[in-house]
Amino acid sequence: MPAAERVLLRSVTMWLLLQSLLLLLASCLRSAAAFPKGCYPSEEEGLKTFRCSNAQLTEVPRDIPNDTNKLYLDSNRIPFLPRDAFRDLPLLLELDLSHNAIAGVESGAFRGLTDHLHSLDLSSNRLVSLSKDTFSNLKAKVNLSDNPWMCDCRLQELIRTVDLAAGSSGSIVCESSAQEEHVGKAFLQVIADTDFCNVYKKTTDIAMLVTMFGWFAMVISYLVYYVRQNQEDARRHLEYLKSLPSKQRRSEESSTISTVV
């Protein structure tokens, strides 16, 4: 091959390689620009990971790659988890939401994760109370430790529906409770001796009995008043008849009898 042709072929090859590198670099830059500041994808132990730890986030990012296996949103300022927050992550295995400001979780927030999620960390947030349906059908191990829980029937029902992460149950502590002696104690220790839902049921039953008794007393009082009022009216009418002269009284009685007939 002539030297000129070799030089030309080498130049074309170099130009194609340079163009490919530029396209690859542009693609990487576009992908990086699409992610929130402080978030980046990686691969850990063969699993695709997306990290947004300590990224000053105030909501769950929307541009999370849908092939993510492990998602870290810990140490941010997220206050609330809306419905379908993770709907587009069909391969998610681990979700870390610890050390945020989460105080509310909408029903259906974890919808779409029920079959494949293995681990869910909600520790060190601001959770006081959650519906028992929050983790409905979720098979993941859930960490609920270090939250300011209100110990009541609602929490008792929630704990019965969730599979707690190993070693986390002792840190689910009563920040508040209807009974002052429970404050500061581990919830599982408290419910070993106290059935909050049974106490609630008894309170409800008593309230219903008091209400029914109140209505019954009102009805009886009205009937007694009605009978006494009629008796009083009858007595006054008789006294009035007695006070009339004989002829007029007989006429009044006859009129009354006629009216009655």
> Tens-digit pLDDT profile for the chain (261 aa)?
565 555 555 665 665 555 555 445 444 444 444 688 899 999 999 999 999 999 999 999 988 999 999 999 999 999 999 999 999 999 999 999 999 999 999 999 999 998 899 999 999 999 999 999 999 889 999 999 999 999 999 999 999 999 999 999 999 999 999 888 999 999 999 998 889 998 644 444 444 554 555 565 666 666 666 667 666 666 666 666 566 565 554 555 455 444 433
pTM for this entry: 0.66
Burial class (CB in 10 A: 0-12, 13-18, 19+), 134: buried
Say if residue 91 is in the same domain as residue 204.
Answer: no
Q: Would you state the pLDDT for residue 49?
A: 97
Structural domain ending residue among the three candidates 169, 194, 219: 194
Which segments of 161-242 are extended strands (E)? 163-164, 174-177
Residue 98: CA atoms inside 13 Å, Cβ hemisphere, count? Answer: 13
Say if residue 118 is in the same domain as residue 202.
Answer: no
Say if residue 78 is in the same domain as residue 175.
Answer: yes
**Residue 93 has which token pair?**
């295995």
Q: Find the helix packing angle between 196-243 and 153-161, rounded to 10°.
A: 140
Q: Would you state the pLDDT for residue 104?
A: 96
- For the chain, give the number of residues: 261
Say if residue 150 is in the same domain as residue 219.
Answer: no
The distance from CA 79 to its chain's CA centroid, rounded to whole angstroms, is: 13
Q: Does 2 reside within a domain? A: no
- Hey, how many other C-beta atoms are within 10 angstroms of the C-beta on 85? 24
Say if residue 227 is in the same domain as residue 103.
Answer: no
* Residues 112, 218: Cα–Cα separation, whole Å: 54
Q: Would you state the pLDDT for residue 63?
A: 87
Matching residue, tokens 């998610």: 92
Q: Would you state the pLDDT for residue 208?
A: 55
* Domain that includes residue 212, residue range: 195-233
Q: Would you state the pLDDT for residue 246?
A: 58
**Distant-in-sequence contacts of 197-200, Cβ < 8 A, 24+ apart:** 197/153, 197/156, 197/157, 199/153, 200/152, 200/153
Matching residue, tokens 């006054």: 236
* Residues 196, 159: Cα–Cα separation, whole Å: 12
Helix (H, G, I), strand (E, B) or coil at 146: coil
Q: Would you state the pLDDT for residue 235?
A: 66
